[in-house]
Amino acid sequence: MQFAGISVIFVTMSKKAKINQFKCKGCYYCIDVCRSGSITKSGQGNPKGYDYVVVDEAKCTGCGNCYTVCPDCCVDIIETEE
């Protein structure tokens, strides 16, 4: 699209959850509240020995429920380009 000789590019942004695997203690509250089913156990231990969680970004809707319930502040909601 152009306005007065200026090109304008529209970028679609989406929100996604990112887990800090080093801080995660495996309480799994985030799994319980995830409506899209995008958060699962990793099956691997972090340096502290906890089975941390992972996010399937293709399924994540960025609703923020996981961010709200995490007692250890391991979740960030970030904006990404689609």
CATH value at residue 18: 3.30.70.20
pLDDT-based confidence at residue 9 (cuts at 50, 70, 90): confident
Residues whose CB is less than 8 angstroms from the CB of residue 11 and which lie 6 or more positions away in sequence, other chains included:
81
Q: Are 72 and 23 in contact (CB under 8 A)?
A: yes
* Total structural domains within the chain: 1
* Mean pLDDT, the chain, integer: 92
pTM of the predicted model, to two decimals? 0.82
Structural domain boundaries enclosing 37: 2-81
